[in-house]
Structures are given as structure tokens and as C-alpha cells.
Amino acid sequence: MNLDMISDILSSMIRIATPIILMALGGLLCQRAGVFNIAMEGFSLIGAFFGVAFVQISGGNVYIGFLGAMVFGLLFSAIFALFVTRFKANHIIASIAMNMLGLGLTSYLLRALFDVQGRLAPDTINKLPLITIPVIKDIPILSSLSGQSIITYITIILVVLVYIMLFKTKTGLSICAVGESENAATTAGIKPNKVRWLVILISGVLCGLAGAYLSTVIVSQFSENMVAGRGFTAFTAFAFGNAHPIWSSLVGLLFGIAEAIGIRIELAGIALSPSIIKMFPYALAIIALTISSYTNKLKVSGVIGMKRKGR
Amino acid sequence: MMNKTKNVVNNICKQIGLIIIALVIATIFLALSGYDPIAVIRGLMESISGDIGGTIRWATPLILAGLAICVTYKAEVFNLGVDGQLIMGACAGTAVALVIPATLPAGIAAPLVIIVSMAAGALYALIPAVLKVYTGTNEVVSTLLFNFIATLFLEFLVTGPLTDKTSGVALNASAIVPKNTWLPRISYLAPSTANIGFYIGLILVVVMGFIFYKTTLGHEIKIVGANRTLAKYAGMNPNRSVFQVMIISGAIAGMIGAIEVFAIQHRLLAGFNPGFGFDGIVVSLLANNNPFGVLFSGLFFGALINGGINMERATDVPSAVTDIVMAIIIIIVAANFAIPRVRGYFRLYRKADNPDTGVKGGKTE
Amino acid sequence: MAYAVEMLNITKTFPGVKANDNVTIRIDQGEIHGLIGENGAGKSTMMNMLYGMFEPDSGTIKLNGQEVRVSSPHTAIRLGIGMVHQHFMLMPNLTVLMNIILGSEPQKRGLIDVAEAKKRINAIMEEYNLPVNLDEKIYQLSVGEKQRVEIIKALYRGAKILILDEPTAVLTPIETDRLLEVLRKLKCQGCTIIFITHKLREVLAITDSVTVMRKGVVTGTRKTKDTSIKELSELMVGRPVDLNVPRKEFNPGDNILELDNISALNSRGLTALRGVSLNVRAGEIVGIAGVEGNGQSELIQVISGMIKPTGGKVLFKGKDITNFSVRKRRLTGMSHIPEDRLKMGLAAKCSIRDNMILNRYFQKPYSRHGVMNNKLLSEFSDKLCKDFEVLTPGSEYAVSTLSGGNMQKVVIGREMETNPNLLIAAQPTRGVDIGAIESIYRRLIAERDNGKAVLLVSAELDEILMLSDRIYVLYEGEFVAEFNRSEADEKKIAVYMTGAER
């Protein structure tokens, strides 16, 4: 285990965590507005498919691919928004439906539009450039930050933007308000449904981005069901991260590093099962969740951190 | 009494009506994408009616999953971990099956592995239940996490300790389980894989219905789900109810695992679970969380899934179409729940803005 | 000079109910106007329309002589109308500051200008003496503080017309006095205040004029100085009301309930009861007087078995039942009418029958070996509904379809049916119309006359005085006084309730 290997693992970690963090950002905004969005799996799958589809149609242009992915991610999430706001559908059920729809639709369109089955690899693809940052690339460990795709750097910027928006702007306050108390928001003149549409559409775009990243950056093809549960991992990230952009991203990195280590172990042929390694973030999440719930329980019952006696 | 039956019939008609709306939308969708919808629907119908065995095979785990969900839902506990519990059940059952002597009579071996699977599922469900009761951990998130862990654990088992050493290729599966643990198929419906799991499902539907409508246990669970403080005030024990429903739910989930291993695959395979747990949520929803409804809802979805598979074999329509149809149905049915609530207000409401109950009248929603 | 607010010939119908029928209310500039009536009289509906929550079916609203259309709370705020709701519209996990500025945030370069907001709010807090800590989270505040936040909210948005919906329902007497001071100050500054309440004393104390509503119509408008409690209550109810129920001669029997030096903690881990002792005998009503929040809830919970005391004993008919479970105590002969029927007494979305059978569903002949006899249980439930005059087409309807009074009847019916030796009645007439109050009083007296023990806990001193044979005054977890019916003096007890004397 030397520095190079560590940098290597960290580099993988960032690469793996990028789509998860993107999805989690959208999910946490929804959570803040009281929308239980567990449909990121479906949203991203649509993004992944249309990313590749548009690359194919445009003859290899990856930028068009990303644009298409985000547009269709937006449109697809609009269906979810419609049913959750106008028809007041149960969020969990609607999410399950969207995931199913995403799976079915993408598999179906693969056949219907491109007449292939199982996977679609575009004939040509001009992949997104990797960016090397001059000074950083030579510092060990930090060098993992260099050489990533543009999307990763965009993701980092987005994390900061979401943080600022959520805690420092009027829009962010409206989002929190709708999630905390719909009544309070309404009497303050906010339209809760408008806010919900906003957060859901944002998550649609972000998931579209994440999906296209998976299908055009990590690999260069779309295969059925390729999101493979990452949507739920993203959900775990923001649930564990308390719907806070910074914490959720850190959890995303945690998942990234677990998978990165798992892969290395598998490749190195070490006896330790990669599946067990991959379990660690989830086990950690459960422990952390339990601890935080328990301390919350104790706090509310006054055993610790007594509230001041008000007057 | 008349009122009640009228209500039930009303509800069923409503659900069927929604399904029809969804099917119409699906038809339009098919037409738009260039498939002859009539032929597709006919193909679907034929494969459903011509292959009852397949329908039964797929309905079985769905009915059981629906029951597992509806029992916890009644107590306002959201067990999203049926997938994990059924996987653990399958793992435990397989592990035991691979060590018991082949000379043990089937009459003992088969029930034994089922019981082991149910116990494993129940125990795996007990963990989030304990966390919920003693630390207040929300079961929605914890059960989802446990699902991940169970899936990974399964992967570990079939690539490690339980892997099939006899096969030359590296399979992600266990060895074939001994014959004395195989659950019988329904020979009448051969060569499909429909099995006695279906009969077990039927029995459980009746048992669940009985519990909820005719026993004190069911009443307590209902009250705990409706108002926990009330339950305590009336002398009930809400925590005990949480444990009860999770254990029952986990046991049923474990049963699903046992059936998939011992009746269908006859070995433990990585990824054998296509997500029955989540499908169970949908089945239960369509059935309005009513155990008897779950039977029909499960059969309906089983028919759809089977129809899709057969249709794919026979025509060039991908089975993904059934996923799409199912999704449309689910989302239409989920939307429905806003409407009867409002209509209910119209019929039974006495006061306008009821300030002390905080219940609003007609317009405001 | 034009009226500040005129609501002329307002009619509003909800499905099945006419909430307001041709109602006219006129409010002078700079006056404090009381709007009173029983639950369901339509006063909240009127004010909700003034605040733009919904619009009237017909009629006009005028502000300062000009006709306006209040189509949303947003519009109302712009027109200078502010409302403090009965159930606070606050976001528990956000800070006071955020709650106040929500929807009207000052902005600088796209971000919220916190400094500017604080400046404005501090000015308001100073002017009207409404101090709160802006950086605290709402869930940390007391009820009185939360209400202050609501008032600041309205003032921050420039409200000149302030509607307060049952503001004193949740306040202690001290907090109530402070609120009235604030209102007087606001009036001096030119605000017009509309004060919705059912507490006639407060109406007389602070308002300039009062409008009385009943069943959707206005039954009378008076200048406060020209009217009396008697006249107002008659206008509210439509008939002279006498809550003085006759009782048999006082002949108490043995001790049914004894509390021996009970100490207990509340749900936040703080001490709620400090070594209290009391006794209730057969054939007597013992009243616990005191402002809510002084340990009454915990007292009841210790007696009913819902919490364990940290010290002391509970005795029932001489037997130590301190370790008995809730169910065991009920089976021994205890019943409990809870103080919050929706939180603790009923499952709103379940049927009336499901709620009625809670004390009996597990007993023979209604169930054997865990299997219930639904037919018998339905008959049982229907009979109780009839006996206790619960207005419903059938007991399979959901409890949420009942009015407050009828809900309370369900609870009382269920709890009295078991013929308990000890009946605990906590705030038994809260949110119940005067007509039903009379019948509840009759039932409680009947229990007492039949030799049962009744423990009455109420925040309404009138109620305690009317019904009790003996009175304990509870203050900060201790009994600071005990009175017999004959020596009970309202003014004296009120003083003990504030803790001024021991």
C-alpha cells in the first residue's frame, strides 16, 4: 500500500461518487420540501438512456447527449411531479411506479428506437475531456482531484450552490418552509405545489446528468438497468446526511470509497469478499442512524442537552 | 350492514375502473410506438389464459409479499425490508438444506427448511423493529439499508461459503439443494413452475383476513396504527404490536425466499429476487391494504408479468411493455386516493370548518 | 369616519353546512372588537375569509370604506390584515427569525439580508414589548413566546388590522395579562383588533364592542360597557343557561383512591410532581384546580398507569396498585376521560364502533380466546350511542365525522359504561357546546350521587367550583391548598393558582 495506490483509490472514489452525489442533491432538495423522492433510480436511467441516444443521433456529440439527458430527465420527473402534486399520490408508491416506468421505458425504447436488445453502444463518441489541474496533479493524495471529468467539477460547484441556495436565499427558505409546515408556508404567501414542482424538476435534471455521466463517461454505452441500485444508494446518502448538501456528499464519498476498495480487492484476488467490504457503508449508516435517533430521543425527553426553561 | 357491503362493492368497482383507465392509456401508448395494440392485448390475454401455471407461479410471491406489507401497514409501520427478509430466509433455508442428511424423509425436511426460512426472515425483521422501539430509528430508512446488506450477504454466500464447488464454471450459486427439501409443484399445471406455495398463500390470505377482522390481535394492531397514544391509554401495548407485525411480516417474507429456492430454482442464486418486496407494496396498495384484495391484486399482477414474458417469446414485443403497463396502473391507482377522500367529506360531513378537530371542510385541501 | 372593517351580508356554504348566513359585522377604527360564539358558530370562518383563506359565496368586504376582494392571505397581508391563528403556523425546526420573515425576506444581491431583517424586527420587539430570541428554534419556545412570534409576524408585515383567534386558550393567566397589555399598546398605535374567543370574562375586560354569533348568524352586537356575561351567554346559546345542577346530600364513603407522596417526571425529564398526596372517597367529586402545565397531566397519568412515579404509592380501595398496568387498573374499576380526546381518547379515522369497544373487546361475551363476536360488539356500540345521545347515522361511520361534542359523548359513554368505581374526568367539557356541557355535568353528579368516586381536573375554575365537593389547588407540582365546598372562595383559589400563596 503506497501513496500511489491511495491516490488511485481516492480517484476511483470520486469517480464513483459523482453520480451518487448528483442524485442525492436532487433528492435532498425534495426531502426538504416534504417530497419523499425515491425515484432517482428511474430518473437516472432515463438520463443514461437518452444520453447515449442523443450521442448516437448526433453522431458522437457528447454535449448534445448531456443536454438530451437533462431535458428528458426533466420531462420524466414532471410526470412524478404531476401525480404527487395535482393528484396527491402517495410519494413512495409514485416513486416505485416511476422506477418501474423508467426501467420498462428504457428497455422498450432500446428496441423500439434502435432495434437492439440489452445494450446500446453509440457508433462514435467523442468523450468528455478529463481535466488535469496543474499543481495539484503532482501532490500525492490530492492528485486524485485532478484528472476527473468536467462533470465531477461541476458536481462540486453544484454542491456549494445547493448549500447557498438552501440556507441563504429566499427560495431555499421557501423550500424548507413547505417541508416543515405547509400551513405556515401558505399563510406566508408561498404556493407549496409550485415549490414541489421546482424541487422535483431540479432532481430530474440532476438525475439526468448523473445518468448520462454513467453511460457516457464511466462507460460508453447504455445497458438495461444500468443504474443498478445507485438511486437507492443516493437516497441512503441524503437520508444519512440529514438532507444537508455537505454531509450527504461526504456520505456519497463514503460509498464511493467502499466500492473502490471492494473493486481493488477483487482485482487483487485477495480472499476477502468484496461483498463484505461493500457492506461497510450501509452498516455504518445504520449505526449512525441509530445513534442519531437515540440521541434525538434522549434530547426530546430532556435527559441530555436540556432546553432552557423558557419564560 | 348494507352500507358496509355497498361501500366494499363501490371500492372494488373504483379500483377496476382505474385499472381500465390505465389499460386504455397503455393501449394508446402501444399504438403510438408502432405496435398493433389489439394484437398485443390479444397476445397478452392468450398467454394469460393459456398459461395459468405461469400466472400462478408469479402470483404466489406477489400475494405473499402483499400480505407481508399489508400486515405492517395496518400498524402504520412501513416495512420496506421485505426484500432483505426474503433473501435472508432463502439463505438460511439453503444453508440448513445443504447440511441435513439426504436420508431425512421429505415430510420432515421440506417443512423444516420452510420453518427455518420463516424464522430467519422474522429475525431479520426483528432487528429494525428493535431499533424502532428502543431508539426511535425510522424503519423506512433502516429496512432499506438492511435490504442492501442482505443482498450483499447473499452475493458473499454464493461466491464464498455456499458456492457450488461441483460445477466447473464459477457460478454465482449454491449447490443444488437435496431432493428431500424440494417443494412439490402443482402437477396439474405442469410443466410450469407453479407450486404449493400458492396454496400456502391462499391459506395465509384467509388467516390474515381472519386476524384482522375477527380477532383481538387484529383490533389492537388497527388501533395502534390509528393512534398510538390511544392504544396505550386503553391498556394496549403499542411496542408489542410493532414487534408482532414485524415478526409476522418477516416470517411471510422468509416464506417467499423458501418458495423461490425450494420450489422454483432448487438452489440459491445471486440476484434471484427480482424485487418482490417492492412489488408487494404495489400489490397491497392496489388491494387497499385488504388481505382478501391482496389475493386478487396478486393474481392480477402475476397475470400481467407472466403475460409479458410469454408475449416476448411469442412476438417481438419486449416484456418491458408489461413493466410500463404496471407502472401506469400503479401511478393511476395511487392518484385515486385523493378522490374518495374528498367525496367522503361530501357525503358524511356534518360541520364546515371544524375548529376543534382541525378537520377542514370541503374546499380546502 | 369610515369603519375599519366591514363584512356585509356575507354568506358561505360548505358541503352540507351553511357556515355563515347573511352575516354583517362592522368594526370601528382603532377599536378592540370581540367576536364570540360557540364552536361551529361561524366566527372562525368569517375571519378566515377576511384573511383570504377562502372567499365568501356572496356579500362584500370593505376596508376603510373601500370595497376589496381578499383572494389570498398574500392579498390580505398587502391590505394590512394580519392573523394570529389558534393553531400556530410556525415551523418548529427553523429559527424565530426565519419564521418571522418567511415570504417577506429582505434581500441583498440575491441572498437573504439577515442584518436588515434583524434590525426591523428588533424595532418592532422594542416598540411593542414583545421580546423573543431571534436565533432560537421554535420548538424551544414556550407557548406564550410562540404567540409573540406570531404577533411579530403580523406586525412585521405592516398589519394594521390584527385578528386573533382564541389567543388565550393556551396561555397562563400571567401570559394572558401580558397579551392584553400588548393589545392595549397596539390599540394606542392605531391598530384595529378583532378578538375571537369564547371566554366571556376576557371580552368584558378588554373589548370595546362585541358581536355574538350562533349557528352561522349574528344574534347581537353590543357595546361592551352596555352588556353583561348573562346577556352575552344568552345571545350565544339562544336560551338562558343554568349550569347549576342539583346534587344529593354529601355523604362520602370509604377511600377509593389514595395517592401517597407521589413524585413524577414529565416527558421532558423535568420534575412535574413533588410528593403529592390526595384521596377521593366514594360518593364525592374531588376537583383539582390549577392552570394547565402545573402537573395535572402527569398526575392523571400516574393514576391511570400510563407513567410510573419516581416515588410514592397509588392505592385503590386500600390495595397498592402502583405497579399495576393500565389495563389492570381499568379492570380493577377505573375509567378515564382524557383531556385531549383526539390525541388520547379516540382514533379519528376508525369507526365509532372501533372506538366504543376499547374497554370491552377483549372480554367475554364479546370475545372468546381472542376471537371477537362482531355482531354483539356492534349491538353494544349502537346501544351506547343511543344511550349517550351520540348524533350519528350509524356506528360504522368514522369518528372524524362527528362534532366535538358528539366525540366527547362517545368517550364519556365508553368510559362510563364500565360502571367504574373511580372516574377520572380531565377537561371534560373542553371544546363542547354549552348544551352538551349541561348534560355532562348531570352525568358527573349522577355518578357521585350513585356512590362512585370522581376526580375532576379542569382549567376552568367555574367548573371546579360548580361540581366539586372538595378542591385541591395544584401549583408547580404541589398541592398548595385544599378546600371544602362550603369554604371554597373563587378569589382565594385564584390567588393560590398563581402560586402567590402557599
The model's pLDDT over A2-21, given as tens digits with 9 standing for 90+, comes to: 778 888 889 999 999 999 99
Minimal C-alpha gap between B34 and chain A (Å):
8
**Given this model, what pLDDT does residue B4 score?**
58
Kindly list the residues from chain A whose CB atom is less than 8 angstroms away from the CB atom of residue B322.
104
The radius of gyration of chain B from alpha carbons, rounded to an integer in Å, stands at 22
Which ipTM did the prediction report?
0.81
The answer to whether C43 touches C196, Cβ cutoff 8 Å, is yes
**Given this model, what pLDDT does residue C258 score?**
94
- pLDDT surpasses 90 at A48: yes
Residue C338: which residues within 8 A CB-CB, separation 6 or more? B233, C300, C344, C345, C411, C426
- pLDDT surpasses 70 at C241: no
Q: Taking residues C379-392, what's their average pLDDT?
A: 90
Contact B222 C53 (CB under 8 A): no
Q: What confidence category does residue B181 fall into, taking pLDDT thresholds of 50, 70 and 90?
A: confident
Percent residues over pLDDT 90 in chain C? 53
Residue of C94, C102, C146, C165 best to disrupt the A interface, most CBs of A under 10 A? C102
Percent residues over pLDDT 90 in chain A? 47
For C103, the closest of A189, A307, A310 (CB atoms) is A189
Three-class SS state of C240: coil
CA B205 – CA B136 distance, rounded (Å): 31
Size of interface A-B (CB pairs under 8 A): 140
Looking at the domain assignment, is residue A254 inside a domain? no
For B334, the closest of A94, A100, A293 (CB atoms) is A94
**Encoded amino acid at C404, one letter:** G
- For chain A, the residue count is 311
- pLDDT surpasses 70 at C428: yes
- Chain B residue with minimum CA distance to A118: B318
The answer to whether C180 touches C205, Cβ cutoff 8 Å, is yes
Minimal C-alpha gap between B249 and chain C (Å):
20
Q: How many CA atoms lie within 13 A of A28 on its CB side?
A: 31
Residue A271: which residues within 8 A CB-CB, separation 6 or more? none
The CATH number of the domain covering residues in C5-237: 3.40.50.300
Lowest mean pLDDT among A156-160, A162-166, C291-295, C437-441: C291-295
**Given this model, what pLDDT does residue A99 score?**
93
Q: Are β-strands C81-84 and C66-68 bridged in parallel, bridged antiparallel, or unpaired?
A: unpaired
Cell numbers for B192: 410450469
Q: What confidence category does residue A264 fall into, taking pLDDT thresholds of 50, 70 and 90?
A: confident
The tens digit of pLDDT for each residue in B11-65 reads 777 777 777 877 788 778 777 777 777 776 777 777 677 788 888 999 999 999 9
- pLDDT surpasses 70 at B350: no
Looking at the domain assignment, is residue A97 inside a domain? yes
Instruction: Judge whether A167 is closer than 8 Å to chain B, CB to CB.
Output: no
**Encoded amino acid at B64, one letter:** L
Looking at the domain assignment, is residue A32 inside a domain? yes
Contact C45 B351 (CB under 8 A): no
For A276, the closest of B134, B156, B282 (CB atoms) is B156
Instruction: Judge whether A284 is closer than 8 Å to chain B, CB to CB.
Output: no
The answer to whether C473 touches C490, Cβ cutoff 8 Å, is no
Q: Which tops the pLDDT comparison, A171 or A308?
A: A171
Instruction: Judge whether C122 is closer than 8 Å to chain B, CB to CB.
Output: no
**Given this model, what pLDDT does residue A113 score?**
83
C-alpha closest to that of C90 among A177, A245, A311: A177
- pLDDT surpasses 90 at C230: no
Q: Which tops the pLDDT comparison, C177 or A209?
A: A209
Kindly list the residues from chain A whose CB atom is less than 8 angstroms away from the CB atom of residue C105.
170, 173
Instruction: Judge whether C321 is closer than 8 Å to chain B, CB to CB.
Output: no
Contact C112 A173 (CB under 8 A): yes
- Chain B residue with minimum CA distance to C166: B355
Question: Phi then psi for C103, rounded to 5 degrees?
Answer: 90, -20
Which range in A276-280, C204-208, C229-233 is most confidently predicted, on average pLDDT? Answer: C204-208
Instruction: Judge whether C364 is closer than 8 Å to chain B, CB to CB.
Output: no
Strands (E) in chain B, as ranges, are none
Contact C269 A186 (CB under 8 A): no
Same fold, C5-237 and C282-308+325-497: yes
**Encoded amino acid at C424, one letter:** I
- pLDDT surpasses 80 at A58: yes
CA B140 – CA C206 distance, rounded (Å): 51
Kindly list the residues from chain C whose CB atom is less than 8 angstroms away from the CB atom of residue B223.
347, 350, 354, 358
Contact B320 A97 (CB under 8 A): no
- pLDDT surpasses 80 at B168: no
Task: Estimate to the nearest angstrom the gap between the alpha carbon of A228 and the chain centroid.
Answer: 13
CA C476 – CA C259 distance, rounded (Å): 17
Lowest mean pLDDT among A201-210, B102-111, B142-151: B102-111
**Given this model, what pLDDT does residue B170 score?**
67
Residue A25: which residues within 8 A CB-CB, separation 6 or more? A158, A159, A162, A203, A206, A238, A245, A248, A249
The answer to whether C177 touches C98, Cβ cutoff 8 Å, is no
DSSP-assigned letter for residue A141: T
Q: What confidence category does residue B358 fall into, taking pLDDT thresholds of 50, 70 and 90?
A: very low
CA B325 – CA B327 distance, rounded (Å): 5
Residue C383: which residues within 8 A CB-CB, separation 6 or more? none
Q: What confidence category does residue B3 fall into, taking pLDDT thresholds of 50, 70 and 90?
A: low
- pLDDT surpasses 80 at A193: yes
Instruction: Judge whether A94 is closer than 8 Å to chain B, CB to CB.
Output: yes
Number of CB atoms found within 10 A of residue C475's CB: 20
Instruction: Judge whether B29 is closer than 8 Å to chain A, CB to CB.
Output: no
- pLDDT surpasses 90 at A66: yes
Kindly list the residues from chain A whose CB atom is less than 8 angstroms away from the CB atom of residue C138.
none
CA C251 – CA A169 distance, rounded (Å): 70
Range of the domain at A28: 18-227
Cell numbers for B207: 388467516
Q: Taking residues C140-153, what's their average pLDDT?
A: 88
Q: What confidence category does residue A303 fall into, taking pLDDT thresholds of 50, 70 and 90?
A: low
**Given this model, what pLDDT does residue B303 score?**
87
CATH H superfamily, domain C282-308+325-497: P-loop containing nucleotide triphosphate hydrolases (3.40.50.300)
The answer to whether C255 touches C318, Cβ cutoff 8 Å, is yes
Looking at the domain assignment, is residue A260 inside a domain? no
- pLDDT surpasses 70 at A304: no
**Given this model, what pLDDT does residue B344 score?**
38
Question: Phi then psi for A223, rounded to 5 degrees?
Answer: -125, 150
For C111, the closest of A168, A183, A310 (CB atoms) is A168
Domains of chain C: which residue ranges?
5-237, 282-308+325-497
The tens digit of pLDDT for each residue in C443-498 reads 999 999 999 999 999 988 888 988 999 999 998 899 999 999 888 887 788 778 77
For A93, the closest of B160, B281, B324 (CB atoms) is B281
Minimal C-alpha gap between C305 and chain B (Å):
9
Chain A positions contacting chain C at CB under 8 Å are 164, 168-170, 173-174, 176-177, 180-181, 183-190, 300-303, 306-308, 310-311
- Chain B residue with minimum CA distance to C303: B233
Residue with cell 400458492: B198
Q: What confidence category does residue A130 fall into, taking pLDDT thresholds of 50, 70 and 90?
A: confident
Q: Which tops the pLDDT comparison, C10 or B5?
A: C10
Instruction: Judge whether B360 is closer than 8 Å to chain A, CB to CB.
Output: no
Chain C positions contacting chain A at CB under 8 Å are 51, 53, 72-74, 77, 83, 85, 89-94, 98-99, 101-105, 107, 110-112, 140-142, 145, 267-270
Looking at the domain assignment, is residue A235 inside a domain? no
Q: Are β-strands C161-165 and C81-84 bridged in parallel, bridged antiparallel, or unpaired?
A: parallel
The tens digit of pLDDT for each residue in C54-94 reads 899 999 999 998 999 998 888 898 899 999 987 788 998 89
**Given this model, what pLDDT does residue C2 score?**
84
Kindly list the residues from chain A whose CB atom is less than 8 angstroms away from the CB atom of residue C99.
184
Task: Estimate to the nearest angstrom the gap between the alpha carbon of C284 and the chain centroid.
Answer: 26
**Given this model, what pLDDT does residue A302 score?**
59
C-alpha closest to that of B156 among A54, A262, C275, A218: A262
The answer to whether C344 touches B230, Cβ cutoff 8 Å, is yes
Q: Taking residues B85-100, what's their average pLDDT?
A: 94
**Given this model, what pLDDT does residue B357 score?**
36
Please tell me the pTM assigned to this model: 0.82
Minimal C-alpha gap between B35 and chain A (Å):
9
Q: Taking residues C261-280, what's their average pLDDT?
A: 90
Looking at the domain assignment, is residue A46 inside a domain? yes
Contact C16 B215 (CB under 8 A): no
Instruction: Judge whether A239 is closer than 8 Å to chain B, CB to CB.
Output: yes
- pLDDT surpasses 60 at A306: no
- pLDDT surpasses 70 at C293: yes
- pLDDT surpasses 60 at A153: yes
- pLDDT surpasses 60 at B342: no
Q: What confidence category does residue C416 fall into, taking pLDDT thresholds of 50, 70 and 90?
A: very high
